[in-house]
Amino acid sequence: MSIYLLAFILASFILILSPGAALQFPNGDPRQPGDASLIGTIATSRKRIPLTRSCLFSKSTDFEVHRNWLAITHSLPLWDWYYENTSEWTLDYPPFFAYFEWIMSQVAKLADPAMLWVHNLEYDSWQTVYFQRWTVIVTELVLVYALQMFVDSTHGVSKRAAQAAAVSILLSPGLLIIDHIHFQYNGVMYGILIASLVLAKKKSSLLASGLVFAALLCMKHIYLYLAPAYFVYLLRVYCLSPKSVFRIQFFNCVKLGGGIVAIFAAAFGPFALRNQIPQIFSRLFPFSRGLCHAYWAPNVWAMYSFMDRLLIGLAPRIGLTVKVDALNSVTRGLVGDTSFAVLPDITPRMCFVLTLLFQAIPLVKLFMRPTWEGFIGGVTLCGYASFLFGWHVHEKAILLVIIPFSLIALKDRRYLGAFRPLAVAGHVSLFPLIFTPAEFPIKTIYTIFWLVLFLMAFDRLAPAPTRQRLFLFDRFSTIYITISIPLIFYCSLVHGIIFGKSLEFLPLMFTSSYSAIGVVGSWLGFMVVYFTE
């Protein structure tokens, strides 16, 4: 493992930081065909790493989730997919992802047919492990292709910055932790998202951008959080006349609307014929779950929960009432468990209103000034709002913010200043996903190297802003990143040495609350940048 890791770090360091070779294309001209090899070269290097650095047989519950979905889609008729509940890990993704699992199952039966038996729970033969690991790696080539699209769509002096951003996404510790160790298929879906964002750059491919995003929604519904930005941007630049917002381009509306209807019909139509849409929606949107996950995602509700914990100790002294039956609720993340001991409870409706409000604010500007970079900023801020104020948000959803933000983080140093604390907080917040001693050096060393490598590279590549930078925010970013080092050290090592198995939730609470400060601070900083651009 160490040889691959060191080789990868050295290669990335040479490509990005070396004055002579940093992000240079083979023939020295970014407009020539030879530029296609850089992303491919880095991708090839990265593809060798996951099997060794994931230790192959180290896996989370998500490994069994996807094995079970392979079995469901392969062994049962279409109409039973969203009713099957032999395993607790029932199918709860939209139909296009289920079709994706079915396609993979046709190959899986050649590796080990036993993995496709619905009642073969927790089955993990070495053939199954190898097969599922390789499906993550192979399908991530969609991300490689999308990033190459992004690089190819950028010209002039911005080409080098686009190259750095693309490589940073491809080598993201977030994708390493979530996909290659924790085991999910985010790489392929973020590849589709990036492809859709890149297609929105040109007027000639706006329709394709909207249709690709519609297909993505039918693959994973979490991207609904970004849909308002797509709606506003496509409405303004594709459905309305550029000369007057009161003039509708009717034919464009028909093409876009008809295409979206056709895509959703292909996904949900077969189930609609059997009146199964309510059943599917009950799987996709389980609002019976609590406000916070068992491990708090680093958002506003993590800070709210942390404050509730603090007030429990202070309540008797300041005359506040403590609800005894709610004392443990914010640490459990149980279904339907949303009570706070001191502070008022939060409802799904409140989360929805707050999310919609803070999404709408930047979308007003996007409607008035519909540029591509403004669109990416709008998508990013929609991701922020949904992550910070959403109901039962998973920490993994931070990639909804990090990945689109990465595409514009190098626009200038003001953008980079807002991105830095997000990069640190977002990736550190993923550490609790993998918690065994064998995985500690992998997640820690890899993430720290990535942060040092790319934040240094980004600092060199980001141009000076046309507007004055925010002095206080720069200082916040520096102090925040500095404090993260002892926090990681304590939560990962020192706490276990001192307390052993007791107070296990304490480092999780520290990690979540500290990361929440970084994400919220980054959001506020980027809101200022977005509206003063």
3-state DSSP call for residue 219?
Answer: coil
CA nearest to 110, candidates 92, 86, 89, 134: 134
What is the distance of C-alpha 79 from the center of its chain? 30
Cβ contacts of 515 within 8 Å, gap of 6 or more: 298, 302, 425, 426, 428, 429
296/313 Cα distance (integer angstroms): 20
DSSP letters of 272-316? Answer: HTTT-HHHHHHHH--TTB-SB-SSPPSSHHHHHHHHHHHHHHHHH
Domain endpoint, select from 69, 99, 123? 123
Contact 233, 256 (CB under 8 A): no
For residue 314, being part of any structural domain is answered with yes
What is the distance of C-alpha 309 from the center of its chain? 28
Other CB atoms within a 10 A radius of the CB of residue 505 amount to: 16
Q: What torsion, rounded to 10 degrees, do the Cα atoms 101, 56, 495, 330 define?
A: 10
Query: In the chain, what is the straight-line distance between the N-terminal and C-terminal CA atoms, in Å?
Result: 45
Q: Residue 492's pLDDT is what?
A: 78
Q: Residue 323's pLDDT is what?
A: 80
Q: Residue 55's pLDDT is what?
A: 45
Q: Which amino acid is at 21?
A: A
For residue 83, being part of any structural domain is answered with yes
- The pTM score is 0.87
Below-70 pLDDT ranges, the chain: 1-60, 326-338, 469-471
For residue 184, being part of any structural domain is answered with no
For residue 93, being part of any structural domain is answered with yes
Range of the domain at 338: 300-345
Contact 178, 166 (CB under 8 A): no
CA R_g for the chain: 23
Structurally, the chain folds into a number of domains equal to 2
Domain endpoint, select from 123, 146, 167? 123
Query: Phi and psi dihedrals of 486, rounded to 5?
Result: -65, -30
Cβ contacts of 236 within 8 Å, gap of 6 or more: 245, 366, 367, 370
Helix 126-139 / helix 95-111 crossing angle, nearest 10 deg: 130
Q: Residue 60's pLDDT is what?
A: 66
Distances (CA, A) of 43 to 28, 54, 145, 480: 20, 17, 10, 31
pLDDT tens for residues 211-249? 999 999 999 999 999 999 999 999 999 999 888 778 889
Q: Residue 81's pLDDT is what?
A: 97
For residue 399, being part of any structural domain is answered with no
Query: Phi and psi dihedrals of 463, rounded to 5?
Result: -75, 165
Distances (CA, A) of 16 to 3, 23, 41, 163, 165: 20, 5, 13, 9, 10
329/473 Cα distance (integer angstroms): 35
Query: Phi and psi dihedrals of 451, rounded to 5?
Result: -65, -45
Q: State both tokens at 431.
A: 């550490």
Q: Residue 8's pLDDT is what?
A: 39
Alpha helices in 218-249 (DSSP H): 227-234
Domain endpoint, select from 70, 103, 123? 123
Contact 302, 511 (CB under 8 A): no
For residue 242, being part of any structural domain is answered with no
For residue 110, being part of any structural domain is answered with yes
Contact 295, 512 (CB under 8 A): yes
Length of the chain: 533
For residue 105, being part of any structural domain is answered with yes
